[in-house]
Structure 1
Amino acid sequence: MIAFFLRMRRRLARVLFTAAAAALPVLAFAHGISAEDRERMLSGGYLQYVGLGATHMLSGYDHLLFLFGVVFFLNTFRDVAKFVTVFTLGHCITLVFATFWGITWNYFLIDAVIALSVMYKAFDNNGGFQKHLGMASPNLLGMVFGFGLLHGFGLSTRLQQLPLGDDSTAMLLRILSFNLGVEIGQIAALTVMVALLAIWRRRPSFERLSFAANQLLMVLGALLLLMQLHGYLHDSDPDSFRFPEQEHRHIHEDMDVEKTVDPSRNTL
């Protein structure tokens, strides 16, 4: 019997890994501000920013995975509303203020930390703090608010890739329009998530597979982390690295990398 369960566990692990690996190419291209979006926003009105915010959230796999983890075990509408409100408040603060004041960072690194938040929630859902660390889970409401601030900062780095203009009033209205779209997209996604989870909880399979579902969530978070770190290390835009292109070239000049060949020896 024990051997049977061990075989089933290994098979389940292979299934989870295969599913996560199959999803990775979709995740890799689902998130971000495209060149077409940037061009469209040059003459776009506020409604276009609302639409962009909604589609950005609906394609924001990292934000949606985290929200899925947050509402996974919430049984009442009151609990869902409480945690979602705290998360929304957090990401609105950093989205609006960081964008308006031009506070930014390398978005690959921010998204890597957001991926860690997905892994954190899956670890917490499976009782990881109690099982592996011998401690109670940190205050969940506070953690959701803190991660909301982080997710909003991630959204801000994407929004700052758009032409927001120089007029402060118009810029603020564009930011608020984008933020409104994000909230609309979040409500739409959460409606589907909460409805599906409510249906699933009534079935016996929920008890059997809830642990595996959160394990899959953790695997997806880990793959997103690797994807973002890979993007950071192989970024095609040199100026988005910690060292601008000019500094990178100066380092090579200081090392005389381009002077390692002595052409005068050709005449020997």
Structure 2
Amino acid sequence: MLLLPALAFAHGISDEDKRRMLEGSYLQYVGLGASHMLTGYDHLLFLFGVVFFLTTFKDVAKFVTVFTVGHCITLIFATYFKITWNYYLVDAVIALSVIYKGFDNNGGFQKYFGMASPNLLWAVFGFGLLHGFGLSTRLQQLPLGDDPVAMLWRILSFNVGVELGQIAALAVMVAMLAAWRARASFARFAYAANLALIYAGVYLLFTQLHGYQHDSAPDSIRFPVEEHRHLHEDMDIRNSVDTDRNQL
């Protein structure tokens, strides 16, 4: 249970970051965007699934570009026009995209539904829109200001940081996968690796739903660890009282 708070908000915006942004420059938004992406387990796992079987630079560039265009659209427009939703639920849906990619990589549509996989390019674009909305729900918790021009520059700066973080993460992923493909173990363990991706997505899904269930303040930044602990303590007390009553 101790891992749930850490994973649920591994790429959250801390109170310290919020205070720093009050008087921060655009470069600070760039840095925050980069660190947000590099610690965003759900985004990174989905990207890992996307590039897992891509062997050429052209294919990697094509799919990553489509994903980037998708998440840029919703990140910028949803933030600028203040369109938001409960971020636990958004991240829960994003976790489904991780499950989807692992399932697709393992030929799930062919095995279980007897059909070809949906068009991957459009799927990646659609999930890009979803991931961008998830990023937007976090960014909207920062003090972006009331000046529409300055707010737009802050959004764009954060977005630039996200792209830089994504490029850095992808460089490592693609290099590791290229080296692994040269080994016989890739063919043997590719299925297991994508099965692990599905399990990771399921874990992230239940983590976010768990956070949503125990969060009484959905606009707060951090996972309410103390509230979570007290809720379980109260449950234990109630269960103990009920047991004593039954014994009487």
Say whether the fold is shared (TM-score over 0.5).
Answer: yes
1:216 alignment partner AA: A
Q: Tell me the equivalent position of 1:188.
A: 168
Q: Tell me the equivalent position of 1:8.
A: none
Match of 1:106 among 61, 73, 86: 86
Q: Tell me the equivalent position of 1:122.
A: 102
User: What is the alpha-carbon distance in structure 1 between the residues aligned to residue 2 and residue 181 of structure 2?
Assistant: 26
Residues 7 and 207 of structure 2 are in contact (CA less than 8 Å); yes or no, is this contact kept in structure 1? no
Q: Tell me the equivalent position of 1:252.
A: none
From the superposition, tell whether residues 139 and 214 of structure 1 become closer, same or farther in structure 2 (CA, over 3 Å): same
2:114 alignment partner AA: G
Match of 1:135 among 111, 115, 123: 115
Residues 8 and 211 of structure 2 are in contact (CA less than 8 Å); yes or no, is this contact kept in structure 1? no
SS in structure 1 of the partner of residue 13 of structure 2:
coil
Q: How does 1:154-233 map to 2 (within 5 A)?
A: 154-233=134-213
Match of 2:125 among 140, 145, 148: 145
Q: How does 1:88-99 map to 2 (within 5 A)?
A: 88-99=68-79
SS in structure 2 of the partner of residue 138 of structure 1:
coil
Gap runs ≥5 in structure 2: 221-248
User: What is the alpha-carbon distance in structure 2 between the residues aligned to residue 128 and residue 60 of structure 1?
Assistant: 26
Residues 118 and 217 of structure 1 are in contact (CA less than 8 Å); yes or no, is this contact kept in structure 2? yes
From the superposition, tell whether residues 169 and 116 of structure 1 become closer, same or farther in structure 2 (CA, over 3 Å): same
Match of 1:85 among 65, 70, 76: 65
Residues 46 and 174 of structure 1 are in contact (CA less than 8 Å); yes or no, is this contact kept in structure 2? yes
Pairwise CA RMSD: 1.5
Residues 103 and 194 of structure 2 are in contact (CA less than 8 Å); yes or no, is this contact kept in structure 1? yes
TM-score (norm: length of structure 1): 0.80
Larger Rg over CA atoms: 1
Match of 1:70 among 45, 50, 71: 50
SS in structure 1 of the partner of residue 24 of structure 2:
coil
% identical equivalent positions: 77
2:212 alignment partner AA: Y
Gap runs ≥5 in structure 1: 1-20, 241-268
From the superposition, tell whether residues 23 and 66 of structure 1 become closer, same or farther in structure 2 (CA, over 3 Å): farther
From the superposition, tell whether residues 232 and 24 of structure 1 become closer, same or farther in structure 2 (CA, over 3 Å): closer
* Shift, 1:29, TM fit: 4.1
From the superposition, tell whether residues 238 and 150 of structure 1 become closer, same or farther in structure 2 (CA, over 3 Å): closer
SS in structure 1 of the partner of residue 141 of structure 2:
coil
